[in-house]
Each structure stands twice: as structure tokens, then as C-alpha cells.
Amino acid sequence: MNALLTFRRVSLATILVSAVLLGISGTIGVTSAAASLPAAFTGASIDSESGANVNPLHNETYAQSFTASQIFEPDDNSNVIGFALGGELPGPDNWSLAFIAPNQGVLEPGTYDNALGGSIGVPSSSPGLNVSSEIGCNQQFGQFTVLDVTYISPGVLGSFAATFEDHCEGQGPATFGDISYNSTAPFYGESLSQDHLVVDTTGTAPGVSGFTITNTGQSPLDISGGYFSGTSASDFFVADSTCSPALAPGAKCEFDIGYNPPADNASSEASFSFYDELATQGPPGAPATNGTGRDVTLDGESRPTVTSVKPRTGPTSGGTAITIRGTNFTTGATVVIGQGSGAGIGAIAATDVVVVSPTEHTAVTGGKAKAGTWSLFVTTSKGTSLANSGDDFAYEAAAVMPTVTSVSPNSGPTAGGTTMTITGTGFVTGASVVVGQGAGPQTGAIAATNVKVVSPTEITATTGGGAKAGTWNLFVRTPGGTSPPNTGDDFTY
């Protein structure tokens, strides 16, 4: 399944910041969870977009889930409900959450928009939301939805479930999360197989790559929607999807994103959005009306192709000037000729590579190659060409002069017709055989017929007729030369 996919959660609510931040009401101190609370699911998940200030990794997307043993419920009152996730002390993967009711009220199920927070506080008339790890914010704003809240007694929490979205110091990258504390309310969680996925294409053929979504929560996920936006949106399409509106806990599904390169093979950029949890999809091209969304950044890229190599043969010692034709050739391209393992280990690098145009390279073959026919590969920043019959280049071994060590039988009539077996070295397909007549392999030599190269050390042939009687040298000719005369090559007519 090289389009680059970067996953991040995106805002689906318009957040207005108009209040002057004051002080937070309520005090949060961390203690262990009460053992007498009713048995129900307890868990949490945090993930943030790249660049979110409370993200301890700063420049990367962040995702972390927490089990019941990692969630600590603090001393609270009905106005402020807070949790420590991961541990009770600050750390790179430890988090502090606080949900605050407006007007000194009691938190109840519902959505709290325009929630404010941060180190300089919130006005008591506004709902409050504080999300922090090792790094805090001067000002925070966002929203949270309380799905469930019960109290064992005033100020003593029984159960709680909520989802939240928090922005630090402006309407930039966000941190998202879900928490369930002794609650039977639906808990949603998910993970993506990777946050960068390269989708490329070869030439003008569509390329397809996919990513997997896993439901890590306790309730079915509504994986719905899916639309493209951006200046190059028309270059992408959903090739296939196994995602349904009800992805069961623990189940996986996949979106396969296709990419059709534009006519000029330029890179393409767009976004693909899908929705999870309780999303209700609006018209195509519009965001969901509720729920949490995922926005996938797409970078479509076209790797090179090779359609022909001329000349197609050259010696294993290299030095053959070649012209390569294909598509998507760019400055800085490299050329190698495989040796049986593709463009990787052992491939022979060409030298003097010149990009004449996006469809033509010139280069010189490298040496010390193995004899045989191999694929030639072009690599650019967009990827490496795929092997095909048009990219073949044959390295030919240097010609070796043959030798003759014996002829059997080594005599026959001057009329010819004697079938003989010739042994020696350096025999190759296309070899010829002659029996001299006193002037070496040239003038007057009698050509043998039915020459067959059985192996590099054996030839069978039939003597020609019209010969002079006598003992003469037999010669084998190949591209490597003619065998030198010796006593082992004698044949007597």
C-alpha cells in the first residue's frame, strides 16, 4: 500500500475568546482514587497536533493512553473536577486536567464552549479548562463535553466522563483527550498505524497507499465522512475503505488513498478529513456537525520511470556511454545497474550522470560488474524507478581466447564426415572449427560442420571434406580469438 500523510486532530467548533482572564475558582490537590466507587471503566487518552505548546515533544504529534492505575482523582468539589494522568508529579508523559463549571456552579452533563484557562486564570462566569504537562500555558481556550457525572455526596465524585479540545496561546495546534472515571458512558479511543505515510506513483499510473485505524476504546467508533480539500484535491481519491459507521472495540479498518499525478508530474498537496466518535457528516466538502475529526495532510509524489537504455550491452569493466529515457527525471538523480538485488546492495553506480531533460539522462556504466542482464534504476527525491523489461542492460564478460587440449577421434578420411569431440577451454556459443592444411587457420583450412558448443570445455563437430592427407592443427575460433596450435590439437586426414 512515495503521497506523505501527516495525521492531526482538528477543531470542529468555533472558539471565541473575548473574556479577560482572571483567577480560577476551586482548589485541586491530588490524592488516590477512592476504593468504594462503583465498578465501571476507567481510562484516558491524550493526543495533540504538532506544535501544541503543552506537547512535551513540541515538534511532533503526541499520543498517549492511560489505564485505571495511571489515573488519580484529586480532592475536588462540585465546581472543579480534576485528574492527574500518568503520575502525581510532573513528567514528560504525566498530565493534569481540570474541568470547571461556570458561575461557581455544579458540573453537569453537556457541552461547555469557550472554556478558558491558563496560569493567569479564568473569569468565574466562564467554564474553565486546564490541560498541562511539563509545559503550561499563560492562556488556554477550548471546549469540553461532560458525558457523565455523578456524586456520591456533595463534593465527592462518583463517576465522570468527558471529551475535550484545548488550544494554548492562540487558535493554533490543539490537544485533545477523552477521560472516563468509574463511568459507564461510552469511551472513545483510537490509534493510527502511522502518522507519516508516503504515497507515490510511477509515471502516469495511479499510486495507492493506506493507513489503519484501530478502536482502542470501549465503545464502537463511528468512522464516517471522508472528503478532500485544498488546491490539488482533485488529484486524490479514496481507492478503498473497510471502515464502517460502527467500528467495534479492538477492531481495525483501513482507508486506501489513491493519487493521480497531474500532467506535468508536479507534486500535489491536499487534505483528507474523516470523523470519529459521534460525528454527523455534513454535505461533501463540509465539516461534521459534531464529534471529533481527523485531518490528513497529503503530499502526492511521482517517482521516475525508465523506458529504454541504449546501447543495451557493454563490458563488465564498465565505461559504456548510455542514454536513458523515461519520465520524472530531475536534477540530482542517480543511476545504478542492479546485480540481482535491485537498486540496493551490490548495484553498480553509473558515473557522469547528466539530466538532459525530464525524460532523458546520459551516463557511463560502472565497472567490476557481474556478467548478465540486469535492471537499470534511476533514483530521485521522489523515489526509485521500478524494474521493467525496458530498463535492461547486459554486462558482457570480457572475451577469452579458446584453447584446444584434445581431439577424439584424431584421424579420419580426407573426404570428411568424421564426428569428433574437441576438449579445451573458453568455448562459447557461436564458435567455429577449422582443420589447417599447412597454413594455419587461414588460407586453405577445412571448415568443420555441425559445430555444437556443449559447454565452455567441449565442442562436437564433423570434419569437412576435400582435405589434403596429413596431420594438421585443429583450430577453434571465438570472439576472444583463435586457439594457438599445440600437439594436443592434431587431426590426421
241 half-sphere exposure, CB direction, 13 A CA radius: 15
What is residue 36's DSSP assignment?
T
Task: Please give the single-letter amino acid code of residue 387.
Answer: A
Q: Is the pTM of this model over 0.85?
A: no
- Same domain? 363 vs 234: no
pLDDT at residue 489, rounded to an integer: 96
Q: Is the pLDDT of residue 6 over 60?
A: no
Q: Is the CB of residue 323 less than 8 Å from the CB of residue 354?
A: no
- Same domain? 157 vs 60: yes
pLDDT at residue 395, rounded to an integer: 94
- Same domain? 232 vs 217: yes
Spatial distance between the Cα atoms of 482 and 478, rounded to a whole number of angstroms: 6
- Domain of 254, in residue numbers: 190-303
If pLDDT is split at 50, 70 and 90, which confidence band does 19 have? Answer: very low
- Same domain? 129 vs 161: yes
User: Residue 380: inside a domain, yes or no?
Assistant: yes
Residues 6+ apart with CB under 8 A from 148: 109, 159, 160, 161, 183, 184, 185
Spatial distance between the Cα atoms of 35 and 46, rounded to a whole number of angstroms: 25
**Of the ranges 21-25, 176-180, 193-197, 370-374, the best mean pLDDT one:** 370-374
User: Residue 3: inside a domain, yes or no?
Assistant: no
Q: Is the CB of residue 453 less than 8 Å from the CB of residue 479?
A: no
Strand pairing of 252-259 and 236-241?
antiparallel
- Same domain? 54 vs 156: yes
Q: Is the CB of residue 329 less than 8 Å from the CB of residue 355?
A: yes
**Domain final position from 286, 303, 320:** 303
**Domain final position from 183, 199, 223:** 183
Q: Is the pLDDT of residue 197 over 70?
A: no
- Same domain? 483 vs 412: yes
Tell me which residue has cell 592444411. 437
User: Residue 1: inside a domain, yes or no?
Assistant: no
User: Residue 4: inside a domain, yes or no?
Assistant: no
- Same domain? 480 vs 347: no
- Same domain? 31 vs 156: yes
pLDDT in tens, 38-81: 347 888 877 766 566 655 444 445 667 777 888 887 655 667 89
In this structure, of 196-205, 278-287, 307-316, the range with the lowest mean pLDDT score is: 278-287
Q: Is the pLDDT of residue 250 over 70?
A: yes
Q: What is the mean pLDDT of residues 238-263?
A: 82
- Same domain? 204 vs 168: no
User: Residue 484: inside a domain, yes or no?
Assistant: yes
CATH number of residue 344's parent domain:
2.60.40.10
- Same domain? 174 vs 312: no
Strand pairing of 292-303 and 200-202?
parallel
State the chain's mean pLDDT as an integer. Answer: 78
Name the domain count of the chain.
Answer: 4
Please name which of 64, 31, 35 lies closest in space to residue 182, comparing C-alpha atoms: 35
pLDDT in tens, 71-110: 887 655 667 898 888 876 666 678 888 999 999 888 899 9
User: Residue 2: inside a domain, yes or no?
Assistant: no
User: Residue 381: inside a domain, yes or no?
Assistant: yes
- Same domain? 115 vs 178: yes
User: Residue 5: inside a domain, yes or no?
Assistant: no
Spatial distance between the Cα atoms of 264 and 235, rounded to a whole number of angstroms: 12
**Domain final position from 396, 413, 434:** 396
Q: Is the pLDDT of residue 301 over 60?
A: yes
- Same domain? 46 vs 130: yes
In this structure, of 76-80, 191-195, 256-260, 317-321, the range with the lowest mean pLDDT score is: 191-195
What are residue 136's phi and psi, to 5 degrees?
-110, -175
Higher-confidence position of 361 and 228: 361
